Amino acid sequence: MSLHCPECGSEDVYRVAVAYEKGVQKTRSKTFMGGGLLSLFGPAFGIGAAVTRGRNTTLLAERLAPPQKAHPILAAIITFFAVCFLGFPVDFALAFFFGGIGLGQKVGLVIGGTIWLGCLIGLPIYALYKGFQYNLRLPKAIAEWNNLYICDRCGHVFTKEAGQSTTANKPTPAPGL
């Protein structure tokens, strides 16, 4: 049984992984150059070399990209430093706010410090938890991604089971043709 698009009925379908690979180009270029200069202080010569690596993707390849692995430790470190740099001024702002309404700056420092310390410890732990939780679901997500197909005619993305059904919406020819 052949696959056909459930949207338009076309049999011109292929796997999403193939469409993704078609749309990704990895580039690597080497550059070598040299030069010379004559000045009042004497001649000067210079040489240089560079290797550039990159990746060009089409819009379709960006849309059909496979699920990527999360980096929870990096996310936790970035969250920790963000809380340090953004939470500390907020702590002092709370101290001045509570001092301005008559409760005293110490009360503001205690309340703000407690909130800041809770965020400093809690948010990186939450980022770690969510990242590891996402990475546990990653093999299933990749397996689901490998089971997707795309229609070359209309661009509809569907599963293999949907493409094998016999009740696909095949286009009906116009009367009189």
pTM of the full predicted structure? 0.61
Q: Which residues does 127 contact at the CB level (< 8 Å), separation at least 6? A: 72, 75, 76, 79
Contact 41, 7 (CB under 8 A): no
| Distance from C-alpha of 61 to C-alpha of 24, rounded to nearest angstrom | 7
C-alpha Rg value of the chain to the nearest Å:
29
The CB density around residue 79, as the number of other CB atoms within 10 Å, is 19
pLDDT at 20: 85
Res 168: pLDDT: 47
- pLDDT recorded at residue 177: 46
Give the pLDDT score at 175: 54
| pLDDT at position 14 | 87
d(CA 93, CA 103): 14
Per-domain boundaries in the chain: 13-32+48-166
Query: Which residue type occupies 20?
Result: Y
The DSSP H or E segment spanning 15 is strand 13-15
**Which pLDDT score is estimated for 64?**
87
- Give the count of beta carbons closer than 10 Å to the beta carbon of residue 112: 22
Residue 53's nearest CA partner among 31, 21, 26 is 26
CA 79 from centroid of its chain's CA atoms: 17
Q: With contact defined as beta carbons under 8 Å apart, do 68 and 57 qualify?
A: no
CB neighbour class for 124 (10 Å; exposed up to 12, middle 13-18, buried from 19): buried
Per-residue pLDDT of the chain (177 residues; tens, 9 = 90+): 578 888 888 888 888 888 888 888 888 888 888 777 777 788 888 888 888 888 888 888 888 889 899 899 999 999 899 888 887 777 777 777 766 555 666 766 777 778 788 888 898 999 999 999 999 999 999 999 888 898 888 888 888 877 666 444 555 444 554
> Considering only CA atoms, which of 62, 60, 54 is closest in space to residue 29?
54
Q: CA–CA separation, 9 vs 156, rounded Å?
A: 11
